[in-house]
Amino acid sequence: MKTTIMMIAASLLLCGCNSVKNEKLPASADTAKLAEIGKGLSDDDKKLFAGYLMRRELAKAFGNSTLPDQATTVGEAITAQQKFADNLSESEKKAQALKLEIDQKRKAVAEQISRTVTVAFIDAHLVPSDINAGRFNATSSLTFAVQNSGAKPIKALKGQAVFIDTFGDEYVRVPMQLEHAVAPGAREAVELSYEINEYLDLDKKIMTLDKDKRFRFEPEQIVFADGSTLRAPDAPSS
């Protein structure tokens, strides 16, 4: 959503906007598709479009599959968000603007970190509970590969492991905190273990993960061996 819009002739820009606004909304946060859409939108329309996407994802997080002003195209989303913004009080507008600003800063830091490190999901292994062995709860062991593409040794990494379902929607996200040294140019396998509570929906989903599940890593902070760090601001509260 932070893709720079190329300066082109007004007539071509108008044509591009009309074409882009007829595009179907992406089913999920497809960064490549969003970047393509962003090239055909004005700055104001990009802000409205980003605001609509944020509302949609927030609704999903609370179990609502659709918004009251559900849109099917980019143009409908922009129009719906404009109407939504017009109905907000001044204080609500400031809160929405702050959330958008923080979200954009988080994405900017995530992009910086992603240029330095790549995280891939390798496999998941479930260790069942065994009272005789002293394991009162099952444990899910998730294995990741961490590639350091930067010039400085990595000391620690923090973010969210996001797993995607068959439809391209978010299935489950798991907090990741890796304290594992990775030298420049090196690739390390890192294993994280999560104690499972079989009564929690989140943990039930973690139990079903396997190596075929699609995955993306959303970085939040990286600490280098020299003590320097890149850290995204905390996510705004709902």
Cβ contacts of 71 within 8 Å, gap of 6 or more:
25, 52, 77, 79, 80
Best CA proximity match to 220, nearest among 157, 149, 152:
157
pLDDT surpasses 90 at 104: no
Cβ contacts of 54 within 8 Å, gap of 6 or more:
99, 100, 103
Contact 38, 3 (CB under 8 A): yes
CA angle 231–58–196, rounded 5-degree value = 75
Segment (H or E) for 138: none
Measure the CA–CA gap between 113 and 150, rounded to whole angstroms: 9
State both tokens at 115.
């240029």
Distances (CA, A) of 6 to 44, 65, 143, 237: 15, 34, 41, 34
Q: What is the pLDDT of residue 189?
A: 93
Q: What is the pLDDT of residue 10?
A: 32
Helices (H), 40-89: 43-61, 74-86
- Over residues 180-194, the mean pLDDT reads 92
DSSP 63-118: T-SS-TT--SBHHHHHHHHHHHHHTS-HHHHHHHHHHHHHHHHHHHHHHHHHTTEE
CA angle 225–230–233, rounded 5-degree value = 145
The overall average pLDDT reported for the chain is 83
- Tens digit of pLDDT for each residue in 13-58? 333 455 788 888 876 667 778 778 888 888 899 889 888 888 888 8
Q: Coil, strand or helix: which one is 187?
A: strand
Q: What is the pLDDT of residue 238?
A: 53
Confidence of residue 123 (pLDDT cuts 50, 70, 90): very high
Confidence of residue 212 (pLDDT cuts 50, 70, 90): confident
The residue to which tokens 């509970």 are assigned: 129
- Over residues 78-104, the mean pLDDT reads 84
Measure the CA–CA gap between 80 and 216, rounded to whole angstroms: 29
pLDDT surpasses 70 at 215: yes
Q: Coil, strand or helix: which one is 209?
A: coil
Q: What is the pLDDT of residue 179?
A: 92
Residue-range domains of the chain with CATH: 22-108 (no CATH), 116-231 (2.60.40)
Distances (CA, A) of 26 to 35, 85, 142, 238: 11, 22, 29, 23
State both tokens at 204.
């039930």
Segment (H or E) for 20: helix 10-21
The larger pLDDT score, comparing residue 122 to residue 66, is at 122
State both tokens at 230.
């890149």
Query: Does pTM top 0.75 for this prediction?
Result: no
pLDDT surpasses 70 at 214: yes
